[in-house]
A and B are shown apart, each in its own frame.
Chain A
Amino acid sequence: MSAPRGAAARGSLVSRLRLRERIRDREQAVYGILIIVALVFPMVTIYATDGTALVSQATRAGYFVLLAIGLNVVVGFAGLLDLGYAAFFAIGAYTYALLASPQLASSPAHHAVHLPFWLMLFVAMFVAGAAGAILGFPTLRLRGDYLAIVTLGFGEIVPQLFYNFDQWTGGINAVGIIDQPVLPAWIQGPWSGDGPIQIVRNFNFGGDPVAFYVLICILIAAAVILVSNLYRSRLGRAWMAIREDEVAAAAMGINTVTTKLLAFGIGASFSGFAGAYYAADVSLVSPDSFLFIVSITVLVMVVLGGMGNISGVIVGALVLYYVVFYLIPGLPENAKNIANSIGLSSETTRSLADATQHLNYIIYGAILVAMMLLRPQGLLPSRIREQELKHAAVQEEEAAVEMEHAT
């Protein structure tokens, strides 16, 4: 009697093992594919298009990925709706822009400051994180909708500040000629010079999209590792506990105020990271780059990708970046080309292109609605936890099967 039951248990064990492997595979496969695409992308596009325009596009997608990873900490892990995330991005960008450009020479300080990019990455991270904590301090007693509105206000105020303190920030004229990252000469490599006799010089990132591309890939990889570590830690669980039930979390000994402050601060610090990078890459920082639409786009990336799941958020950011900055702006042109190729008159072609131009945002909205209806949980919903625990369950089942065999 016990033999067939043991076999049945074993059968279900095997299927469970398969399931577990499939889930683990999915997580690893996503990262694997992302790494391969990241490696191949510059080679293929440079070869195919004979230029680096697409690589620069990809670096722009890259800082949105960084922003999405950071916002995911606040929204996905801790469940705090932040509608002003672009403010921290702005703070990071301006931190670098002011301390690594001629800007401050024309300010009341009368001295230009040129700090190295690598140092400023961390300074910007710290400044944005501190701004997050300062914003969080008076507001974290608020919940849900109220918190969202306060963060929305903050997101509106910060760009205005950069407008109005024009003595320091140049206001509407923006901060320009921002320093490019420089690799010191002692880090030698293929980038150091062509000939063996050439004097080895510091490597300047200026005008080299591939260098920026490599840099953003490294930054993203670092962010993914750090945030995954947090997710699987004491603090990560405390965030989720607060998201699920704040009263119960407090009763379990979690200091909800400091834990939420940490979510805000750490989330913001990643956007500071992205901001410093952005300022260096674009070399021009103006208040217009950090409007409400940026906050919303990043939020949509997080929700669309799968709140709480890091690989999902990355995919969401890439997909939405493609839709917003490529697919939608390119629509009129594409519509015209299609109309031309099927032989419509130039009159209709033009009116068709105009129509798509006008419909841009409607099409964008329709795509968003469709995506959310088809996959409300996001493209790649959070699964890491389940996968980790499938393991424990399988072990228990193994033990049960063993018991059955022993008797």
Chain B
Amino acid sequence: MSQQPAPDDNILELTDLTKRFGGLVAVDNVSLNIKRGEVFALIGPNGAGKTTLFNNVTGLFQPTSGRVVFDGRDITGFKPHQVARWGIARTFQNIRLFDYMTCLDNVRVGRHVRMKATVFESLLKLPRERREEERVTEEAMEFLRFVGIAKHANQYARNLAYGQQRRLEIARALATEPKLLLLDEPAAGFTPQEKVELMQLVKKILTRGITVFLIEHDMKVVMGISERIVVLDHGEKIAEGPPDEVRKDVRVIEAYLGKSA
């Protein structure tokens, strides 16, 4: 990377974020800062509130209290499409592709937010819209090449192999030109070989100047690529720090690593 981020240059700041569903507190007073250009991992046992936290950041849920500040702007309460426009893209734990659209179209939908064509221009296929369509198709192919599935461009998303679907979801998210990419369990169900490839892909994404915030269960992946880790248990933050420190934390071992060790 050409630019080294300043030490306290935070791309995402969560302050006292709480999300309640009735009596259940899914996310409990969580504060965390993610630095520009790092890989930040969120781990925790099942049901710890990790995905709920993602949903609060991306506008799918409105937080009960607390603030979400992204790139210096308070985006608390923004709608999902506004969040995407400001530069946060995500993938989903259970892959959510547009099944009956081709891979190319899936990625072109990702470009939607960076396109300018108006309804009127599209209706009449004016030259400007035509040029934009051509350009976007090229760009979309470029994103497919980036994740390595360009040769499937013409297939329906649902016909891809599982690993390719995960890659397509990442390509689609990258197509929105995010500053921050949220990956929700990107390595779930992967073979060891695929996990290695995923880690390489994440490193490639970093070279584009994108910050990565991921939820992951696989400790090898987490320890292998992330610079800092936050551990969530029952919606509460119980530890934060570099992988080596977190690994040794007593509460973490009790809550999470203890089960697998």
Q: Cβ of A247: which chain B residues have Cβ within 8 Å of it?
A: 60, 80, 96
Alpha-carbon distance between A226 and B80 when the two chains are bound, in angstroms: 30
Q: Cβ of B122: which chain A residues have Cβ within 8 Å of it?
A: 229-230, 233-236
Query: Closest approach, in angstroms, between the C-beta of A200 and any C-beta of chain B?
Result: 33
Query: Closest approach, in angstroms, between the C-beta of B146 and any C-beta of chain A?
Result: 15
Mask for A229-251, Cβ within 8 A of B = 1, else 0? 11011111110110011011111
B151: Cβ under 8 A from any A Cβ: yes
Which A residues, 188 to 247, have Cβ-Cβ distances below 8 Å to chain B? 226, 229-230, 232-238, 240-241, 244-245, 247
Q: Cβ of B170: which chain A residues have Cβ within 8 Å of it?
A: none
Q: Cβ of B117: which chain A residues have Cβ within 8 Å of it?
A: 233-235
Residue contact B119 to A238, C-beta cutoff 8 Å? no
B20: Cβ under 8 A from any A Cβ: no
Q: Cβ of B141: which chain A residues have Cβ within 8 Å of it?
A: 392
Chain B, interface size category, equals 35 or more
Residue contact B105 to A232, C-beta cutoff 8 Å? no
Residue contact A253 to B129, C-beta cutoff 8 Å? no
Residue contact B98 to A254, C-beta cutoff 8 Å? no
Query: Closest approach, in angstroms, between the C-beta of B135 and any C-beta of chain A?
Result: 12
Mask for B126-158, Cβ within 8 A of A = 1, else 0? 000100110000000100000000110110000
Chain A, interface size category, equals 20 to 34
Which residue of the partner chain, among A226, A237, A396, contacts B112 with CB atoms under 8 Å?
A237
B115: Cβ under 8 A from any A Cβ: yes
Q: Cβ of B108: which chain A residues have Cβ within 8 Å of it?
A: 237
Nearest B-chain residue to A244, judged by Cβ: B98
Q: Cβ of A233: which chain B residues have Cβ within 8 Å of it?
A: 117, 122, 125, 129, 133
Nearest A-chain residue to B101, judged by Cβ: A240
A255: Cβ under 8 A from any B Cβ: yes
Alpha-carbon distance between A241 and B110 when the two chains are bound, in angstroms: 10
Alpha-carbon distance between A232 and B134 when the two chains are bound, in angstroms: 11
B162: Cβ under 8 A from any A Cβ: no
Residue contact A240 to B105, C-beta cutoff 8 Å? yes
A390: Cβ under 8 A from any B Cβ: yes
Residue contact A226 to B123, C-beta cutoff 8 Å? yes
Q: What are 17 A-B interface contacts by the 8 Å CB criterion?
A: A229-B122, A229-B124, A232-B133, A234-B133, A241-B101, A245-B96, A245-B98, A248-B96, A249-B109, A253-B85, A386-B102, A386-B154, A390-B154, A392-B141, A392-B153, A393-B153, A396-B153
Residues in chain A within 8 A of chain B (CB atoms): 226, 229-230, 232-238, 240-241, 244-245, 247-256, 262, 266, 385-386, 389-390, 392-393, 396
Q: What 9 pairs across the A-B complex have the smallest Cβ distances?
A: A253-B113, A389-B154, A253-B84, A233-B122, A244-B98, A250-B80, A248-B96, A393-B154, A241-B109
